[in-house]
Structures are given as structure tokens and as C-alpha cells.
Amino acid sequence: MEEINTENKRDYIAGEVLLIDKSVDWTSFDVVKKIRYLITKSLGLKKIKVGHAGTLDPLATGLVILCTGKKTKTIESFQAQKKEYFASIYIGSTTPSFDLETEVDKEYETSHITEELIEKAVKSFIGKQDQIPPIFSAKRINGKRAYLSAREGEKIEMKPSEIEIYEIDILEVKLPHELKLRISCSKGTYIRALARDIGEALNSGAYLSLLRRSKIGDFSVENAITVEEFEKML
């Protein structure tokens, strides 16, 4: 694992790798934009390259890797690494976005759901599979971000992508509605879509109520700092 330089005088132009703990309601691009602004302001630069190595949904928190300067050329190597998430799933309802970005649109029966059924359903998703991404996602469809089309009420078809889920641990079950999981998965996996699919496997419905990304490859959110901490450090 590459050492992250925590000295105040960093060489951002030559390139730094920054581990940021993203807050809720920030987009990944919001983080990039803010960090770029703080660096240019602090160093008196007109501009500097800053990019993120994999987006994280606005309602999710946790690890986002940023690269600056010449290190932006290494972004793809971080994007390809496996991810770890901690997720809370609400069983018995669905939303169009598969999370709390949109309102509940349907309610489902849950009286038939047992812990044994949940365990069987959850474990069935381990391995390689085709996953249909949410329409409320940053994927480009005909040159346009899918979430923009979804918010405008356009009908779009999302094509499945091959993903792999390496591990799923059930951390807590509170029947009939609450399920907490730890998930280790490949690039391109949508945990919101997994929540949808688990709901369907339970012959019910489900959506993602909370999500935190804890790891990307060997990098951990435990070693990350918030945007506010980064600003104070500068």
C-alpha cells in the first residue's frame, strides 16, 4: 500500500493520493471541486488537476480516493480494486431510486419473511452475476447521465453489467423490516441495485436506507480525513 504523505507541504502538482471521508449530501464531484479550490487557494495556483477514483452516491458516506496533479494518471488502477461497504436495507417498500433520494412508491407484504429466508436470499448473490444498474445513476445512456433522464421522467433502458460479489456478511436482522450487511464487491456494483434484488428474492420489496464505503483495495476509511479536516490542515 502506498504511503499517504500527511505533511502540510505536499507536492500536489507532482501528485498526491488523498483519502477523503465523504459526508452525506455531497456528490463525489462536490468533493473534487472543493478540494481543487482549497489547493489552488492555498498554493496560489491558477489551476490543478484533481479527480476521484470512483463515484459514491450523494446519500452515501465514506471513502473517496482523490488524485492530484500527475497522480490523476493512476486513477484507473484504484477504480479497478474491490470495494467494501456497510449497508442498511429496509424490507417491505420500494423507491424509484432504490434509496432515500426518492419517496416510497410501493408497499409489500413481509409476514412471510424469516431470518432463514433472508440468509438464503442474501447468500444467493455471492459470485459473478449480471446486475441492472439503477436509472438514478451516473451511467451514460445515449450520451446523457441516466439520473438526469430519470428526473425528467424519460423512459430509459438500463443494460445489465457483469459484477462480482465476493462476500456478504449479515450483521443484523430486525424483522420484519431491518437488515444490515457488510459487502465486498467488484468495481461497478450498485449496492442500491443489490437492495432491490434482495427485496425481489424475498418475494417482497426493499430499498437502501444507509450506505458507507469502508474500503477500496487496501485503502481504508479509517485513514481518511473529512473535507473540513483537509481545509484545516492546509
Residue 138 belongs to a domain: yes
Q: Is there a single domain that holds both residue 224 and residue 202?
A: no
Which of 220, 226, 228, 179 is closest to 201 using CA atoms? 179
Residue 205 belongs to a domain: yes
Task: Tell me the pLDDT band of 147, cut-offs 50, 70 and 90.
Answer: low
The whole-number pLDDT of residue 137 equals 66
Query: What dihedral angle (degrees, nearest 10) is formed by the CA atoms of 34, 39, 45, 51?
Result: -60
| pLDDT surpasses 90 at 220 | yes
Q: Is there a single domain that holds both residue 97 and residue 191?
A: yes
The whole-number pLDDT of residue 149 equals 63
Q: Is there a single domain that holds both residue 21 and residue 66?
A: yes
Integer angstrom CA distances of residue 212 from 14, 27, 61, 106, 108: 31, 14, 5, 25, 26
105 is annotated as an active-site residue:
no
Residue 3 belongs to a domain: no
Cα(13)–Cα(16) distance, rounded to whole angstroms? Answer: 8
Query: What is the pTM for the complete model shown?
Result: 0.90
The whole-number pLDDT of residue 158 equals 79
The one catalytic residue in 21, 25, 30, 57 is 57
Q: Look at 41-50, 102-111, 119-128, 201-210 and tell me which has the smallest mean pLDDT.
A: 41-50
CATH number assigned to the domain comprising residue 95: 3.30.2350.10
Q: Is there a single domain that holds both residue 27 and residue 40?
A: yes
Cβ atoms of residues 64 and 27 within 8 Å: no
Cα(95)–Cα(136) distance, rounded to whole angstroms? Answer: 11
Cβ atoms of residues 155 and 135 within 8 Å: no
Q: Is there a single domain that holds both residue 40 and residue 96?
A: no
Q: Is there a single domain that holds both residue 57 and residue 142?
A: no
* Residue 176, preceding peptide bond in cis (omega within 30° of 0): yes
For the chain, the domain total comes to 2
Helix, strand or coil, per DSSP, at residue 227: helix
Integer angstrom CA distances of residue 118 from 90, 126, 173, 201, 206: 12, 14, 9, 9, 12
Q: Is there a single domain that holds both residue 129 and residue 166?
A: yes
* Tens of pLDDT, residues 108-124: 999 999 999 999 999 99
| pLDDT surpasses 70 at 60 | yes
Q: Is there a single domain that holds both residue 202 and residue 110?
A: yes
Give mean pLDDT, residues 163-179: 97
Q: Is there a single domain that holds both residue 205 and residue 227?
A: no
The whole-number pLDDT of residue 2 equals 41
Q: Is there a single domain that holds both residue 212 and residue 223?
A: no
Q: Is there a single domain that holds both residue 54 and residue 111?
A: no
Residue 6 belongs to a domain: no
Q: Domain limits at 31?
A: 17-80+218-233
The whole-number pLDDT of residue 68 equals 95
Q: Is there a single domain that holds both residue 114 and residue 189?
A: yes
Residue bearing cell 488524485: 67
Kindly state the percentage of the chain with pLDDT values over 70. 91
More reliable by pLDDT, 78 or 45: 78
The whole-number pLDDT of residue 170 equals 98
What rounded mean pLDDT belongs to the chain? 90
How many alpha carbons lie under 13 Å from residue 92 in its C-beta half-sphere? 13
